[in-house]
Each structure stands twice: as C-alpha cells, then as structure tokens.
Structure 1
C-alpha cells in the first residue's frame, strides 16, 4: 500500500498527530476486528466519489496484507504468544480542505511480532475540482524549487529539535531526506488556507525509538506561495 500513496513516510504520534496549528486531524471511528482496523471520514468524502473509491481500495489492500502477515506468522511461529497481538491499525483524517485541495493524513500502527510495534505516517493530497489524486510536487511550477524551499526550513527545524535531545552528533546528526518523509499541508480549520507544511518523521528515522516520532512544522512563506501553480495558489497563505 505504501507505494500506492503519493507521498508517504515510514508516513502521526503513536496514535494521533497533535497539531501545532491547532488543526487536529479529524478521525473517523472504527472498531478493530482480529487485530485489523481501518478508518477514514466516509461521510466527508461522499462528494468526491473517486477519492472514496480510492480509500476503499487502500483499505482492501491493507486488509489483504495483514491477512498475509498473520498467515505467514502462524506458519513461522505457531506457538508464539505474539500471534494474539498482531495488529494493523490505520486511521485517516482531514488535515485541511479548501475549494481546490483536500489534505488527508493517516496514522499507521503495526505490530508484527518482536519487542514492540511501530508507527508510520501517510498523506494524500486531492485535487477537489478534478476529483483526482495529485502529488506534492504537482503543486509547484518548479518541483525542485518547491521542495528545496520546504527542505531548508524542515532540516533546520529538525536539527534544532535533535540538539534539544543531544542528537546533534554521530548516528542521528543528519536530517532524513525530505522525499522519504510524510509531508502534510495543514490548515487551522476546514475552509481556511494551508499555512503550515508539516513533515512527519517516524521513530528511528531521526532518533532512537524511545524518543518516538518528530513533528516538524514549516510555516508557509510568501516565496513558497509564489512557486505554487496558479490554480492552487489561493489554497495557501503565509504562516509566518
């Protein structure tokens, strides 16, 4: 499923992503069944049939993958107590919505055996007017300049967070590549423009597992807005 997403990281804190912009991801409720759960705001997506269909496809794929994990684990370790705790939980919510763009963010928690489970993050950007998925880079007139504009602030902010934990040197001293992380445009509320670009860094990517994930906010700048294609530009406003 990861490869099917437009931009995804190994892609929210262990169960949800609190928003520094005060725009919590709106979660649809679900009940886990046999260790598997998948939720997304179905009612909100009714006006976008292609998106609703895509989310259902993702759900079916995730459930099949989990069934395969369970079957393979039962074959490999039939007497392991870990079998009772195998888990795949995936929760999607809306991080912001304008007349032209819908930003979705997902939390993926999986326990596949071993000492502990792990959390990954996912994001999905939707062109509302054309009811189609787009990538982050498709927002920009020049994708390299757009990513570079985000990357500079992301890396500086993350390294400041790493230094606070004494991680500035050695194994954890570098920034994980932006294109390997989950990038989520965030608005303070639905209908408002996106003022934050949030980079979600999963456990192990920028520090030891004990520190959990990092949530790195990059305020939308005027120079970034200037790089957004005209048809999407009204969906962004300066966050600085």
Structure 2
C-alpha cells in the first residue's frame, strides 16, 4: 500500500510493523471489498471492536452502492463496472500511552480510475478510546505554525524531484487541514515524529501520487500538543 514507507520511517527501531501485504477480498457480481488491519491492533480489545465495526460499515456501504449502481446500469443499457473498496491499516508505533495506525484505501466507483485516500488513527490506551491524531494538538493553526516552514521546504524538494523542476499551480503547499497526520516514535517510548501525507490532487496531480513527509518533534511542535498529552511526546534530538 502507498504509505507503507512512511509507517516504517515513523516507527524507526520500535516494535516491528505487523502489516499485511495482501488484503483478503470478497468478490461478488456487485462489488469487491477488502479490509485488513495488523495483528497488534487486534490484540487491543477496544481497538479491535472499532476496526471490526468500521469494516462492517464500509462493507455494507460498498454492497449497497454497488447493487444500486448495477441496477441503474442495467436500466440505462450500459455495462456495469464492478465497484471496489479496499482498505488496509498498518502499525506505525506503540508507546505506553498510544497505538498509532496508518491507513490507506482505494475506492473505485466506475470512473476512469479509483480514488486513493489516507488515514491516521490513534488509540489512547489510558482512556480506552479512539482519537483523531490532530485531536492531540491544541489547534490546527498551532500545529501548522509549528510545522509550516519545514514541511513546505521538504515538500517542495520532493515536488521538484518528481516534476523535474516543472511545478504548476497544483504544486502549492497545502494547509494542515488538507493533510493526513500520523504519529510515530523512534524508540517505542514517546511520540517523537509526525508524518504528513498529501493525497493525490492535494499537493500535485493524480499522476504525481501521494506526497509523504516525516518531521521530528521539535520544541515548537511539542508546545502545540495539548497539555493532557504532552508527557507522551518527546523532542527528538
């Protein structure tokens, strides 16, 4: 999957990544569906329950949408292109406080190509609940202020490399709200890295693919973390 390398970069030398390279799929005349998560996530009861509920919800939606599209195609006399939805979660890291996952999906609904998307998920073991990674920060504005200069510089370097110097208006530096945020660790003790993922069309054309940037936690980033979670983070030397 697309963001496997950023998961590896974020985990560093912490616990091994228990990712599934192939997502088992179910195929019918109406739809194809696959959903996978790492064994480590399945060992956390509350997290496993959430993932299983998410799997059931997404499969029901894919099944319902595919069946409706197939009926509509038959009415219109057009060939039906089977709907497909495949999603995979990978372990980024585990610390005493958090389990951090990265996810990516590919959603095909009969067009010229499907739409990839990325996700971040944090399970708070102390509270026994799921959190959006950005919920650990005081605000999007605070996180953007702490990361903007470094993120935009690294992103631009990668944009220049991929486009061979021919950047366009699509290659602007997106706001933090447009990005997927991942939390990572180099040692399994504290969050000391963050990953920022720009899906296709967010920082470039579809052909350019996904842009992924990893940043160390700096004093500025640490100040943007909510006080309740700050002890679970560390500045990376």
Please say if 1:100 is aligned against 2:97: yes
- Partner deviation per Cα, 1:150-181 (whole Å, 9 max, x = no partner): 33322232122222325675421312221122
Taking the aligned partners of 1:123 and 1:233, their CA distance within structure 2 comes to: 19
User: Relative to 1, partners in 2 of residues 1:140 and 1:182: Cα closer, same or farther, differing over 3 Å?
Assistant: closer
- Partner deviation per Cα, 1:165-217 (whole Å, 9 max, x = no partner): 2567542131222112211012246x243232111111222112222111111
The Cα shift of 1:27 comes to 2.0
**Structure 1 residue runs without a partner (length 5+):** 1-11
Kept after mapping to 1: 8 A contact 2:10/2:93: no
Q: What's the counterpart of residue 127 of structure 1?
A: 124
Please say if 1:33 is aligned against 2:21: no
Q: What's the counterpart of residue 76 of structure 1?
A: 72
Q: What TM-score results when the alignment is normalised by the length of structure 1? A: 0.80
Bigger relative contact order (CA 8 A; separation at least 6): 1
**Structure 2 residue runs without a partner (length 5+):** none
Q: What TM-score results when the alignment is normalised by the length of structure 2? A: 0.81
Q: CA RMSD in A?
A: 2.6
- Partner deviation per Cα, 1:76-124 (whole Å, 9 max, x = no partner): 32352622xx321111121111111121111101222122222110111
Q: What's the counterpart of residue 154 of structure 1?
A: 151
Please say if 1:51 is aligned against 2:47: yes
Kept after mapping to 2: 8 A contact 1:94/1:104: yes
Taking the aligned partners of 1:223 and 1:168, their CA distance within structure 2 comes to: 33
The Cα shift of 1:134 comes to 2.4
Taking the aligned partners of 2:165 and 2:71, their CA distance within structure 1 comes to: 40
Kept after mapping to 1: 8 A contact 2:140/2:176: no
- More displaced, 154-163 or 105-114? 154-163
- 4+ runs deviating over 6 angstroms: none
Equivalenced residue count is 223
